Amino acid sequence: MGLKQKPIPAALTPFLEGKVLLLDKPIGWTSFNMVQKVRGLTRVTKVGHAGTLDPLATGLLIICTGKFTKQIDTYMGMVKEYTGSLVLGATTPTYDLESTPENFKSITHLTAEQIQAARIPFIGEILQMPPQHSAIKKDGKRLYESARLGIEVKVDPRRITIHSFEITKIDLPTIEFKVVCSTGTYIRSLVKDFGDQLGVGAYMSGLRRTKIGAFNVDDALQWEDLQKEIDLLLSQAE
C-alpha cells in the first residue's frame, strides 16, 4: 500500500495538487535529502526529483510535487549544462573529492594547446563507462555498495552525447570547464577520461548544474527562500 496523504493546511494545497520547484541544491546534500525536506516542508508525500546531483555538486534540481511528478521523466530527458573544475596530475577512486587523491604524475610538460586538444575526442556521441562509485543498480545492488567493499562490478558503457565541452580557464593544476550534455552523462567519468587522454590523470574538484532544458539555475530558489515562502503562506492563512 502507498502512503496515505494526511490532511494539510489549505494554504499548501497547491503543492498537493502539483508544483514544479526549481531549487539550487547546496553542497553536501543529496538529491534525496532535498526530496525529503520538501516533503516535510510542504507536508506532501508525492514528491520526486528530475535528475540526481552528487552530494559535492551544487546547482539546479527540479523537484515535482503532486500530479507534476508525472512530468519527471520528461525533465530528466532534457539536455543539461554544467560548469565545474578539475585537477590534473592525480586520480581518485570516486573520480572526485569524496575520496583521496592518488597516482600523482607530473604535468609540467603540458601546454594549453594540448589541454584544449584533449577535449575534442569527447564531443559528439560517445560511449562512456559509468563510475564504480555510482547509484546505478546491477543485479539489484547499487554499484557504490560493492565499490565500498572493494568489489569491482562489470557494467556496460553507455551511449551519451556531449554537445559541447569548453575549457574556460587554465590555472594548472586546476582547469575550469563548461559541458552541455545528454541525460545519463557522468561528468566525473568525463573528467577521468579527459585526464587519461592527457596521460596524467584527473579528478573533479567542483561541479554546478546550471541548466536543464530551458530551466536556469538563476531562476532557482535557495532552500531558505522556499522555507520563507511557505512560512508566509501559512501565516497569511491564519
Q: Which residues are catalytic?
A: 54
Tally Cβ neighbours within 10 Å of residue 142.
Answer: 15
Grid cell, residue 174, equals 586546476
- The alpha helices in the chain, defined as continuous H runs, are 13-17, 31-42, 72-76, 112-118, 143-147, 187-198, 223-237
Grid cell, residue 86, equals 578539475
Rg over alpha carbons for the chain, rounded to the nearest Å, is 20
The span from the CA of 190 to the CA of 181, in Å, is 11
Grid cell, residue 13, equals 494545497
CA distances from 40 to 1, 15, 44, 121, 224 (A): 20, 12, 7, 45, 14
The span from the CA of 238 to the CA of 236, in Å, is 6
Candidates 8, 19, 28; CA nearest to 70 is 19
